[in-house]
Structure 1
């Protein structure tokens, strides 16, 4: 059974909505093994954590995601959502560690790549570029990734590269035009 879940993160003045999908452990006619049961329980708890997070019960969601990780230490969604909570609480080191744990499970997880890049945009722009390029490699039409990459190139005075990224961002999502610096519109 597949489910869709939306999680919001507010970072550096930009609202980010990320939609996740995952599959619960397959149902079997036999009694589930303890591992399969743990995965089922983890998925059920993950859904509860997302509801708590959407209801702004971040402390409860944090506890629930940690319980998910006790059952399934490689659950990228729990790690990612812990990062979102930490980022929203102004704990960038914790957020980065959580995103890194999500990326250990899935090195191409675009949400974790993107949010970590946003965290590092001013403090470690070279690492942010690497992460954003990985997002774009997985989805060339990732408009907000192009926008953020353009901002980094603008900071580095690489105006031609910045203009290319801003152009791609607006081509993929015209609503982003207002976020492009005036000189690049």
Structure 2
């Protein structure tokens, strides 16, 4: 999770610089020779044009991060911390990128975030189910319930540890490994 976020951040910062350099080459050095320094319109022209779908990668990055964090939080509890630190860093880098590398975007009025809401809602529901299964199958909760209500006569967990461990008959050991002690137990766990 951390490596993917770091790689996306590097790519997100390097690509606008490459496009900005390409636009600078396209304008050419003749303007600088004519005016002595770059005129304001030339500096603005060399900025990268903000694509109408320019926010798609930003939404995609946040949805992927949300998916990683919510689905696997029970397996990796530090994921929300890393996501929080990444988002703080990402906010500052995106602000710098939009101010210094892109032309001013044309505002568009929208009702909501569109299909992204349905995707986030689906990921949230999947995360609840996934985390419930991870907790259920990696903990002793279900075996303890089975022991308490099916095996135990007193409906308590007394004897659960002995019940959960496998037993081995000491008599099945080869003779050279048996204890010469006459008080050796009949079985071990």
Larger radius of gyration: 2
Give TM-score scaled by structure 1 length: 0.25
TM-score of the aligned structures, taking structure 2 as reference length: 0.24
Q: Which has the higher contact order (CA 8 A, sep 6+)?
A: 2
